[in-house]
């Protein structure tokens, strides 16, 4: 099997499985909220896991909250911030290439009377900074951006944006979706200067159901899930030690292997770009994109057909566009980057992880060649 | 003691002459089959009505109104049924009728709080009952008026009509669910439906089944051009059609090699028509093997390039059995309405790639002549294709 769909989800790594297993056995299965010894043991392990996450992200443990997924973190950060800070106004800035968990939250806010402004995005997937600074100057409460785009791998110039904020609207907060950058780019929260950030475990060989929300000290937000007041009231519900431990183990393992992984994946990416271009493919990912994501349009193959062809070779990738049999819907991310619809409808996403190898990339190209021989149809 | 029963009315079946018995027997058999998952039921016929009762106490479909609605909906889906009502059945004299009518009205008003006017209608099958129909109407109407201050009588345009039937037992009911009418499936010969993942073909199958035709279906699967999800979608659509048409075999033809062969060896502007002709021949072969006497398609005149009169004429040439096209003169909007009505629409519009779109030329020939098709098929071994399609890797799913 060749799994090139790591931006969708990843296979839990051994470190994670071990951590989860340990968190469910011995004396650690208690409720961290209980006053007796079992609770105390569980709470201790839970706090240790949080500490471990904090050290990877370079923030303080009190600034982190475990959630169920990236989507929950995004929902909480965006809604929670604007609701808790009404005096900062009702303007939110973002781009149209965000993940749906951000776009849908913003759409809901728009219906509630918030003014949502979208900065245009260029062919390189980056927001237009001139336009952004103009928008910032006219007043803004919150800005929502994605560190690494999940469809193209485009990397946000975080430093420039934080710099611009200092100049144009120092009071505005920044929320950063780090789901695709975690474990692949250095995320140093103290240094970055963002106010909120979201993370997900299962994209870095953790398990589904584990997410993390960062809220910088002194940033006020309202919780989305209320109840018993766990996690300082920011996220009620009994804390899950297995999920917290899995998150910590996944983050530590990813961080330890990050440098070597980036190097290997960069090689794979470079090789695939070159070989696919030779075969008439269009590369949609910007040149300076994160190498873990490669968005590419195959000549004469609609996205879904290529996906199923590769599936026959036990190779797994993803279409980012959903095709309706009559009206073709293409990826809104590619559309907003100004990519032609014809190209978009043939586009697929390959996404890599530290476990992928050059050998797999070579076998991938061999499979593509065979697919062209056997299944290419061009009646148009 | 009063119990809930379901009353179903027959339609066109009752107009049949000497063969009416055969139609009625088929309808009863179909009802029993359709209701096989609703517990032990007594289903019997009396005049042009069918009564459905629970054989055992505690059947939830008769205790709870929402569940009763599920059962009634299933009854409406049996072709030959015109309408269905949930009735209250009891024994006794006029006092019992009054009391049960009042209970029924109370429940009716809980469900329909906006209803303000009513009238009573009565049928008296039991001629030994001491009051005649108008007297019963008058008495029950007066009793209801007396007990429900919010109601008044309107004989011309009432919000609801309270029906009282005096037979071996007494019944009261109001309101009805409309059935899908038609003739009982099984009273006509069997047809082979060409089922795609679209909106039209399930509706075509439904329409033929409504004329009493049992149905088998054939689907042309072109993996990897169409996905397993697309196939699952067709299976789901077949299940929806079979709610109305009863038992069905779904034949899944492995069409990929055949299609690629066509792309390689025939002109692209004729591809759709060549493909339709081959599909029809495979379908016909399967039809003959499974005792089907016609083919059914969801074609509608002029809807796409392969559905012009010329294209249809050319495709017809290959079939020896009748090809029924119930949607041929229908507007798309009407087809969509039926599709929604039978609960197929949401499944039909699920977005999976279907093979037709990938293999369609940009400018397909819309007015093909016979010479065109001879030319287009000259390099194809159609016979082998048909044999392969109806044999190799053929999957049969019992729906």
Q: Where are the domains of chain B?
A: 3-178, 190-398
Looking at chain A, the domain(s) classified CATH 3.90.1150.10 span 258-375
**If contacts are CB pairs under 8 Å, which of residues 28-47 in chain B contact chain A?**
none
Chain A residues within 8 A of B359 when measuring between CB atoms: 377, 379
The Cα–Cα gap between B295 and B280 comes to 8
Cβ contacts from A onto B, under 8 A = 52
Contact partners, residue B123, CB within 8 Å, separation at least 6: B133, B163, B164, B165, B166
Q: What is the pLDDT of residue A250?
A: 98
Least confident piece of the model among A106-110, A176-180, A260-264, B309-313:
B309-313
CB contact under 8 A, B358 and A305: yes
Q: What is the pLDDT of residue B356?
A: 56
The distance of A354 to chain B (nearest Cα, Å) reads 29
The distance of A327 to chain B (nearest Cα, Å) reads 9
Task: Report whether pLDDT(B322) > 90.
Answer: yes
The distance of B258 to chain A (nearest Cα, Å) reads 12
Annotated catalytic residue: which of A59, A101, A169, A323? Answer: A323
Q: Does B260 touch chain A (CB under 8 A)?
A: yes
Sheet of A293-297, strands arranged across: A282-283, A293-297, A347-351, A318-319
Query: Is A323 known to be catalytic?
Result: yes
Q: Does A325 touch chain B (CB under 8 A)?
A: yes
Tens of pLDDT, residues A102-150: 999 999 999 999 999 999 999 999 999 999 999 999 999 999 999 999 9
Least confident piece of the model among A101-110, B206-215, B259-268:
B259-268
Chain B residues within 8 A of A307 when measuring between CB atoms: 227
Least confident piece of the model among A194-198, B11-15, B150-154:
B11-15
Task: Report whether pLDDT(A204) > 50.
Answer: yes
Q: Residue B364, by phi and psi: left (phi above 0), alpha (psi -120 to 50) or beta?
A: beta
- The pLDDT of B244-256, averaged and rounded, is 96
Q: What is the pLDDT of residue B350?
A: 84
**Are A206 and A252 in contact, with CB atoms under 8 Å apart?**
no
Looking at chain A, the domain(s) classified CATH 3.40.640.10 span 14-256
In sequence order, what DSSP letters do the residues of B186-246 get, joined into one string? TSS-EEEEE--SSSHHHHHHHHHHTBT--EEEEEEE-TTTS-HHHHHHHHHHHHHHHHHH-
Tens of pLDDT, residues A259-312: 999 999 999 999 999 999 999 999 999 999 999 999 999 999 988 899 999 999
A323 pLDDT band, cuts 50/70/90, is very low
Higher pLDDT, B226 or B194: B194
A258-375 folds as 3.90.1150
The Cα–Cα gap between B42 and B398 comes to 28
The CATH code of domain B3-178 reads 3.30.2130.30
- The pLDDT of B95-124, averaged and rounded, is 94
Task: Report whether pLDDT(A369) > 70.
Answer: yes
Least confident piece of the model among A238-242, B11-15, B352-356, B377-381:
B352-356
Task: Report whether pLDDT(B47) > 80.
Answer: no
CB contact under 8 A, A377 and B271: no
Task: Kindly state the tokens that stand for B275.
Answer: 């493909």
Please state the CATH superfamily assignment of the domain spanning residues B190-398 in this structure: HUPs (3.40.50.620)
Q: Which CATH architecture has domain A14-256?
A: 3-Layer(aba) Sandwich (3.40)
- The pLDDT of A147-176, averaged and rounded, is 96
**Are A208 and A242 in contact, with CB atoms under 8 Å apart?**
no
Task: Report whether pLDDT(A326) > 60.
Answer: no
A246 pLDDT band, cuts 50/70/90, is very high
Q: Does B357 touch chain A (CB under 8 A)?
A: yes
H-helix or E-strand spanning residue B256: helix B256-265
Task: Report whether pLDDT(A255) > 50.
Answer: yes
> What separation in angstroms does the CA of B143 have from each of B31, B138, B150, B381?
37, 9, 13, 80
Q: Does A320 touch chain B (CB under 8 A)?
A: no
Q: For A373, which residue in chain B has the nearest alpha carbon?
A: B260
CB contact under 8 A, B353 and A311: no
């Amino acid at each position: 099997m060749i799994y090139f769909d790591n931006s969708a989800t990843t296979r839990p790594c051994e470190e994670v499985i071990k951590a989860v297993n340990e968190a469910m056995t011995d004396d650690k299965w208690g409720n961290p909220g209980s006053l007796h010894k079992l609770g105390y043991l569980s709470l201790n392990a839970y706090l240790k896991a949080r500490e471990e996450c904090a050290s990877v992200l370079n923030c303080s443990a009190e600034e982190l909250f475990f959630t169920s997924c990236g989507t929950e973190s995004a929902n909480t950060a965006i809604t929670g911030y604007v609701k808790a800070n009404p005096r900062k106004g009702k303007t939110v800035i973002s781009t149209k290439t965000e993940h749906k968990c951000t776009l849908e939250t913003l759409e809901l806010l728009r219906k509630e009377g918030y003014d949502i402004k979208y900065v245009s995005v260029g062919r390189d997937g980056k927001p237009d900074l001139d336009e952004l600074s103009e928008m910032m100057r006219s007043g803004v409460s919150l800005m929502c951006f994605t560190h690494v785009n999940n469809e193209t791998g485009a990397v946000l110039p975080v430093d420039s944006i934080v710099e611009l904020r200092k100049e144009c609207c120092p009071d505005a907060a920044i929320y950063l979706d780090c789901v695709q950058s975690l474990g692949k780019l250095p995320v140093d929260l103290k240094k970055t200067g963002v106010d909120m950030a979201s993370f997900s475990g299962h994209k870095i060989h953790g398990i589904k159901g584990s997410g993390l929300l960062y809220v910088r000290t002194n940033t006020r937000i309202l919780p989305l899930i209320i109840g018993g007041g766990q996690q300082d009231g920011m996220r009620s519900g009994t804390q899950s030690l297995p999920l917290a431990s899995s998150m910590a183990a996944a983050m530590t393992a990813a961080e330890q292997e990050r440098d070597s992984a980036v190097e290997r994946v960069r090689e794979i990416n470079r090789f695939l770009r070159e070989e696919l271009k030779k075969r008439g493919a269009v590369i949609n990912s910007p040149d300076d994109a994160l190498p873990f994501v490669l968005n590419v349009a195959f000549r004469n193959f609609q996205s879904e057909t290529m996906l199923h062809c590769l599936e026959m070779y036990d190779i797994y990738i993803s279409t980012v566009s959903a095709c309706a049999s009559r009206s073709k819907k293409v990826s809104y991310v590619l559309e907003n980057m100004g990519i032609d619809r014809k190209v978009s409808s043939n586009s697929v996403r390959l996404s890599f992880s530290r476990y992928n190898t050059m050998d797999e990339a070579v076998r991938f190209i061999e499979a593509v060649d065979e697919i062209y021989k056997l299944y290419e149809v061009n009646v148009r | 003691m009063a119990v809930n029963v379901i009353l179903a009315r027959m339609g066109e079946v009752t107009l049949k002459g000497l063969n009416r018995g055969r139609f009625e027997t088929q309808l009863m058999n179909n009802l029993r089959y359709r209701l096989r998952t609703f517990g032990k039921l007594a289903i019997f016929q009396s005049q042009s009505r069918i009564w459905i009762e629970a054989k055992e106490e505690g059947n939830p479909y008769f205790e709870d109104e929402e569940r009763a609605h599920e059962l009634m909906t299933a009854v409406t889906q049996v072709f030959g049924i015109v309408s269905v009502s949930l009735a209250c059945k009891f024994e006794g004299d006029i006092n019992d009728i009054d009391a049960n009518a009042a209970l029924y009205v109370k429940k009716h008003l809980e469900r329909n709080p906006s209803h303000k006017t009513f009238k009573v209608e009565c049928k008296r099958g039991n001629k030994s009952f001491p009051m005649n129909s108008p007297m019963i109407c008058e008495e029950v109407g007066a009793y209801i008026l007396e007990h429900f201050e919010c109601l008044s009588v309107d004989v011309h345009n009432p919000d609801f009509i309270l029906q009282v039937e005096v037979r071996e037992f007494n019944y009261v009911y109001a309101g009805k669910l409309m059935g899908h009418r038609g003739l009982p499936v099984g009273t006509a010969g069997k047809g082979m439906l060409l089922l795609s993942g679209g909106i039209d073909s399930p509706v075509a199958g439904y329409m033929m089944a409504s004329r009493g035709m049992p149905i088998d279906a054939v689907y042309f699967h072109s993996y990897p051009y169409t996905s397993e999800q697309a196939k699952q979608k067709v299976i789901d659509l077949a299940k929806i059609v079979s709610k109305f048409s009863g038992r069905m075999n779904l034949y899944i033809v492995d069409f990929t090699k055949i299609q690629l062969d066509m792309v390689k060896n025939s002109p692209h502007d004729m591809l759709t028509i060549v493909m339709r002709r081959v599909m029809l021949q495979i379908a016909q072969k399967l039809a003959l093997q499974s005792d089907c006497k016609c083919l059914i398609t969801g074609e509608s005149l002029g809807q796409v390039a392969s559905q012009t009169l010329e294209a249809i004429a050319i495709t017809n040439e290959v079939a020896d059995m009748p090809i029924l096209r119930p949607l041929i003169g229908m507007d798309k909007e009407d087809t969509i309405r039926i599709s929604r009505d039978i609960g197929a629409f949401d499944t039909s519009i699920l977005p999976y790639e279907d093979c037709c779109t990938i293999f369609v030329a940009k400018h397909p020939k819309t007015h093909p002549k016979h010479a065109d098709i001879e030319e287009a098929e000259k390099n194809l071994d159609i016979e082998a294709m048909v044999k392969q399609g109806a044999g190799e890797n053929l999957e049969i799913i019992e729906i």
